[in-house]
Amino acid sequence: MKNDQAGLYIHIPFCLSKCGYCSFYSIKSVNLIPEFINALNIESKFYSNLFKSFNTVYLGGGTPSLLSIGQLETIFKAINKSYKIDPHAEITMEVNPGDVSLEYFQAMRSLGINRLNIGVQSFDDNILRFLGRRHNSAEAVSVINDSRKAGFGQYRD
């Protein structure tokens, strides 16, 4: 029996470095990303009969923003081929402030991503260093501004 409506979570299990406080599963072997995407494609097809449609899609991690736009496009092609994604679905992706730019945000939007989770644990540089984060507070502010310029942060009904 197919589930009528469900949320799809895709875990991207790669990080350039490990933050001391984090217990999410991730590895630093970013050279495995292409193989991981192939495996994701195969798994999408494998489970395609289980679900009728998804009304939310969430790319978490790990660090999804380590993926190139081309790699994200491959993932979205695979899930759109295997599943029906509600045209009004909330599609979220986690990003690390150290990885993204205005152009990256614009390309994300063209893929249908309409919600962001930006990994800013603090705006205090000392705390960010203590936590082992790869960005500083100025970069975090700049990235938030870029995300708004790209059209994120416009609340929907």
Q: Return residues touching ligand SF4 (CB under 6 A).
A: 15, 18-19, 22, 24, 26, 61-63, 96, 119
- Nearest approach in angstroms of CB 133 to ligand SF4 is 7
- Nearest approach in angstroms of CB 84 to ligand SF4 is 30
- Nearest approach in angstroms of CB 90 to ligand SF4 is 21
Three-class DSSP category at 37 = helix
- Nearest approach in angstroms of CB 113 to ligand SF4 is 18
Q: Cβ closer to ligand SF4: 22 or 127? A: 22
Q: How far apart, in whole angstroms, are the C-alpha atoms of residue 111 and residue 31?
A: 24
Q: Cβ closer to ligand SF4: 10 or 85? A: 10
Q: Cβ closer to ligand SF4: 110 or 117? A: 117
- Nearest approach in angstroms of CB 97 to ligand SF4 is 10
Q: Cβ closer to ligand SF4: 15 or 89? A: 15
**What residue number has its CB nearest to ligand SF4?**
22
Q: Are 125 and 83 within 8 A, CB to CB?
A: no
Q: Cβ closer to ligand SF4: 11 or 84? A: 11
Q: How far apart, in whole angstroms, are the C-alpha atoms of residue 23 and residue 103?
A: 31
